[in-house]
Every structure is written in structure tokens, then in C-alpha cells.
Amino acid sequence: MPELPEVEITRQSFAQAITGAVIHRVNLGKALRWPLGCETSELQGQRVLGVRRRAKYLLVDLSGGLLLVHLGMSGSLRFAKQLPEPGLHDHFEMHTSLGILRLKDPRRFGAVVFAKSQSDAVAQKLLGHLGPEPLEENFTPAYFKQALAGKTAAIKTVLLDAGVVVGVGNIYANEALFLAQIHPKVAAGKLSKARVAKLLEAIQRVLQRALAVGGSTLKDFSSAAGQEGYFQLEMMVYDRAGEPCRVCLGVVRSLRQGQRSTFYCPTCQKR
């Protein structure tokens, strides 16, 4: 699944190029996770004012509303002046005066949803419950400690809760816990103030590094300009079960937590 770095890299790769574009028409393929929420004709003639990100949502600001784009499990965007004919898995295509924006999503868990504004009920249903951005100033050690207080669930599971902090995702939760030397099964509420601060710093370092190298391309992720990421070449534990730890040379292990695979080094990461 595209996580925060991949979504932000996608945003950066087309936001400037599409800003100012006038929408000529929108074509829909097979149904996505949620309906568009308006007739495609309502989008014709609207101007793209900019592209923002909130958690794993891309927010395309329009002169008469807002498009909320989620890439789901397997989605990716392309933006170019010309694109090949739509394929089997291309389910949303927006033709504009500056190019074509296309969503490809083989598993169709992604979505493009129209809202009148970010404050209306449609947008708030998707965005209103979200916690702070991990790379912004309001994600502080004090907030993080308070958010984890009393939680008996494993810290790895809690990191995937968007109500606590958004966009960390499975890949980067594994990597941050390794960097912070915290075992993924430790109860979130039992982490000391010092360990919480260390984990927060690790989350930010891992995400910043992923952004710097274009995100992670594990299967078919690429930016809207078609560029792949390289963070997977630097992963310390994710998807490395049975391989030697890059620090202590012990064996990286895996377990299942909340239907997700967790990877960790039992020597480096303490309970």
C-alpha cells in the first residue's frame, strides 16, 4: 500500500504541473471503493487551484470544490500531456488543459471523491478523525506520550492507527521501531517518556529518508511522473525475515499483528 512518503512523492510529482489547469472532461471506469459523489459534468470547466496532502489523501483544490484522492492498496496516478489508451485497471481519468490525470488501481480499493469543501460532511467523514501529521510541529513528544497513555495494544498496532498519527503505515512502522530499538509487541502505554521521544524521532527520520529517496517501490509504485523509489534498498527489517540483521548479524524474524506482517530483530529490539 502506498504510505505517506509515496503519497507525498506522488503529490510533488504533479502538483505544480496541474495547477491552473481547466478540466475539460472526466471519464470513469469500473466502480472504485466509494462513488465520485457528483456527475462528471459538474467538474467540467472547473480550474485546479492546487494539490495538497492530508494523511494518505491527496486533496485537489478546485474552483468549485475539492477532489479527495486515495490510492488504496495498489493505486497510482499518472499525469502527462499525453497517455496511452486507458487499460483494464484505469478507473478515473481527468482531461485538462495542461494534461491528463489518470488513476490506475488493479484492486479498486482506491477512490476519488468530490466534496464542496474540506469542511462539508463528505470530506469530514474521511478526514475529521485523523491525528497529527508526523512531520509537522504538532506531533510532539508530549502529545505522543499522551496519545499512547493507557493503551494496552502493541505499539506496532497503535502506530497504524490514523487517529494517533497519520500515514506511518506498515513499512515505516517496522523500520521506525527497529531504529528506536523497541520490540513491536510492547504495550504502547508502557513506553517511558524517553522511549516515546526516541520513537517519535525515529518515525520522523525514517519518513524523511524515504521522502529523500523517492519512497519505496516494492511492487509497482512510481510517482505521477513515472519515477520509482529506492527506500527498499535501505530497509533494515521490513520483508527481511530469515536474513541477518544489518546491525548485530542476528536473524530478522516475523510475526503477524492485526493481519499485517511485522519484522523485527529480537536482539536489537527490546521489550
- Amino acid making up residue 208: Q
Q: How many CA atoms lie within 13 A of 232 on its CB side?
A: 14
> pLDDT value at position 120?
94
Round to whole Å and give the CA distance between 248 and 164: 31
Q: Are 263 and 240 in contact (CB under 8 A)?
A: yes
Round to whole Å and give the CA distance between 186 and 262: 13
| CA dihedral sign of residues 201, 203, 209, 211 | negative
Determine the topology of domain 141-264 in CATH.
Helicase, Ruva Protein; domain 3 (1.10.8)
- Amino acid making up residue 213: V
User: Per DSSP, what are the bridge partners of residue 68?
Assistant: 59, 113
Query: What is the reported pTM?
Result: 0.92
Looking at 2, 5, 106, 134, which residue is catalytic? 2
Name which residue leads in pLDDT, 216 or 79. Answer: 79
Q: Let me know if 3 is a catalytic residue.
A: yes
Q: Where does the pLDDT of residue 74 fall: very low under 50, low under 70, confident under 90, or very high at 90 and above?
A: confident
Looking at 3, 8, 93, 175, which residue is catalytic? 3
Q: Let me know if 134 is a catalytic residue.
A: no
Instruction: Name the average pLDDT for the chain.
Output: 94
Q: Where does the pLDDT of residue 106 fall: very low under 50, low under 70, confident under 90, or very high at 90 and above?
A: very high
Compute the average pLDDT of residues 145-149. Answer: 98
If you classify domain 4-127 with CATH, what class do you get?
A: alpha beta
pLDDT at 227 exceeding the cut of 90: no
Q: Where does the pLDDT of residue 219 fall: very low under 50, low under 70, confident under 90, or very high at 90 and above?
A: low
Query: Cell digits for 26?
Result: 472526466
Q: Let me know if 6 is a catalytic residue.
A: no
Looking at 53, 56, 78, 195, which residue is catalytic? 56
Round to whole Å and give the CA distance between 253 and 18: 44
Round to whole Å and give the CA distance between 90 and 141: 42
Q: What confidence tens digit (pLDDT) does each residue in 177-215 have?
A: 999 999 999 999 999 999 999 999 999 999 999 998 887
**How is residue 101 annotated by DSSP?**
E
Q: Where does the pLDDT of residue 224 fall: very low under 50, low under 70, confident under 90, or very high at 90 and above?
A: low
pLDDT at 218 exceeding the cut of 60: no
- What residue ranges do the domains of the chain occupy? 4-127, 141-264
Burial class (CB in 10 A: 0-12, 13-18, 19+), 54: middle
Q: By C-alpha distance, which of 5, 123, 124, 108 is closest to 56?
A: 5
> pLDDT value at position 1?
66
Q: Let me know if 260 is a catalytic residue.
A: yes
Q: Are 216 and 153 in contact (CB under 8 A)?
A: no
Q: What confidence tens digit (pLDDT) does each residue in 22-69 have?
A: 999 999 999 999 999 999 999 999 999 999 999 999 999 999 999 999
pLDDT at 255 exceeding the cut of 60: yes
Query: Cell digits for 15?
Result: 502538483
Round to whole Å and give the CA distance between 215 and 230: 6
| End-to-end CA, the chain | 28
Compute the average pLDDT of residues 12-28. Answer: 97
Looking at 108, 185, 205, 260, which residue is catalytic? 260
